[in-house]
Amino acid sequence: MQTRLAVIVLAAGKSTRFKSEKTKVLHELCGKPMIDWVLDAVVPLKPVQVIVVYGTHSTALMEHYDNGHGGLPVDFVLQEPTLGTAHALIQCRDALQADITHLLVLPGDAPLVTTEQLGSLQTAVAQPEVVHAVLTAVVAAPGDLGRVIRDRDNPDLAGRIVEAHEASAEELAVNEINTGIYLFDRKVFAHLDQAAQQFGASEKKGEYYLPDAVRVAPTLAVQAADFMMPVGVNDREQLSDAEQVLLNRLRRYWMSEGVTFRLPETTYLHADVRLAPDVEIGPSCVLTGATKIGRGTRLVQGCLLEHCIIGANCELRHVRGLESIIEDNVSAGPYVNMRPGTVIRHDCKIGNFVETKNADIGEGSKLPHLQYIGDATLGKGCNIGAGTIFCNYDGVQKLHTTLGDGVFIGSNSALQGGITLGDEAYVAMASAITRDVPAGALAIGRARQENKDDYVRKLKERLEHRKDKAQGKLNAEEPGGGKS
């Protein structure tokens, strides 16, 4: 008979150790909610049905998966009250499609599980004498995890799974642990009913647990290859530990794809980041969201890029970019702040202490240092002098400034928002430009320089006189008592 697989993700736990208003399975690791990592691992197995078991405190999961996941619809089953993992699975009995033959049951807080590990369970239950399978792992420090006690007559089978607080000293010495991941035949519901009648609820919490099914039906113990701790993420420290594992996986993957990392342990990146071959990532870089970086680009140090698209053969130093685009062959930094809506066309040079926002910087333009370019369109080959400010806000609305090709702006100038400078227009340094500038024209917006001869000496005398008067040293009877 053809296997028809349903995936059941248990996510009704109360997450008390997280001390969070948000259900723990929606806390993110490398930019992706914990439970998404779990579902990413099961999608390649091509399940017929996906069910998420949620609790009254985790209703946000329904909105999160409103459009399904990985092309698969997601069904929901409420567990209330929460009386253990076996009770959670039993709530799914009536929600299963009629043609389902097997159930892959796993916790929503196991982001480190891989498709390969889950696939090993499918291979195991193909054996005719096996009804169920449980994924196990051998670890150096099992701690409070449940121990897998092998069947004495058939060591391939799990005879019992014993919780650490109920285990004997001999059982605590066992280092094979239960991962909480099972592949059950659909007959598991009958087995759980039998276990409930035979063993009842746990004495400590009055709950019903999935390991009880192991005690009433032949269950193969399948040791996972390369299983990484923690098994389940139960607190913020384990969240951090799990994220480190995922970060290492991501960095190793991109290295295998031709990316160089300098001090890779200092690079933080999200799962949706895409890197081309020959990209080089220097120390202390943070790449998040759907950031993409083109071939041959070098992030020298200290770059933070969120939802950015960076072209090929660029060099960035200490660049902060949010929802921005850089085309090919651009040099930027150090200390560039690209706010949302920035587009820097190819062959531009962006120097130190430059901020851009909703600005389209034309091909080959230069912003060498100390500029704010907000709400603007620059043509090709523009040169913006140091200290130039685009004054884009009038106190009520943002105003867009347009520069044609080849515009030159002298240092320490201010451009009023909403004006247009034509092709090859020049602006003299220290100008405040408030009107349009025609193509090829020179705009000067400042007072004319005036030189006053011998003014400095007279100024100093006046200042000394003011000082002496303030100190009470001036002889009122002697007119013109100022010091020379």
Catalytic one of 57, 307, 369, 465: 369
Which of 208, 32, 228 lies closest to 114 in space, CA to CA? 228
72: its two tokens = 């698969």
Q: What is the pLDDT of residue 479?
A: 56
Give the separation between CA 77 and CA 388, rounded to whole angstroms.
60
Please report the sign of the dihedral spanned by the C-alpha atoms of residue 258, residue 262, residue 265, residue 269. negative
252-262: string of b/e by CB count within 10 Å (b at 16+)?
A: eebeeeebebb
pLDDT of residue 13: 87
pLDDT computed for residue 227 by the predictor: 82
**C-alpha to C-alpha distance for 280 and 299, rounded to whole angstroms:** 6
pLDDT at 62 (0 to 100): 96
CA angle 253, 255, 258 (to 5 degrees): 115
Residue 352's nearest CA partner among 328, 304, 386 is 386
DSSP string, 298-335: EEEE--EEES-EE-SS-EEESEEEES-EE-SS-EE-SS
Q: How far apart are CA 37 and CA 39, in angstroms?
A: 6
pLDDT (0 to 100) of residue 469? 84
Would residue 369 show up in a list of annotated catalytic residues for this protein? Answer: yes
The pLDDT value recorded for residue 449 is: 85
Residues 6 or more apart whose CB falls under 8 angstroms from that of 276 comprise 258, 259, 293, 294, 295, 296, 297, 312
Q: In 362-444, which ranges are continuous DSSP H helix?
A: none
pLDDT tens, N- to C-terminus, the chain (484 residues): 578 999 999 999 888 899 999 999 999 999 999 999 999 999 999 999 999 999 999 999 999 999 999 999 999 999 999 999 999 999 999 999 999 999 999 999 999 999 999 999 988 777 777 899 999 999 988 988 999 999 999 999 999 999 888 889 999 999 999 999 999 999 999 999 999 999 888 877 888 999 999 999 999 999 998 888 778 899 999 999 999 999 999 999 999 999 999 999 999 999 999 999 999 999 999 999 999 999 999 999 999 999 999 999 999 999 999 999 999 999 999 999 999 999 999 999 999 999 999 999 999 999 999 999 999 999 999 999 999 999 999 999 999 999 999 999 999 999 999 999 999 999 999 999 999 999 999 999 998 889 999 999 999 999 998 888 888 754 554 555 554 4
Burial class (CB in 10 A: 0-12, 13-18, 19+), 86: buried
Closest among 127, 133, 208 to 178, alpha carbons compared: 133
Q: How far apart are CA 38 and CA 413, in angstroms?
A: 55
Beta strand extents in 12-85 (DSSP E only): 28-29, 32-33, 49-54, 75-78
pLDDT attached to residue 484? 45
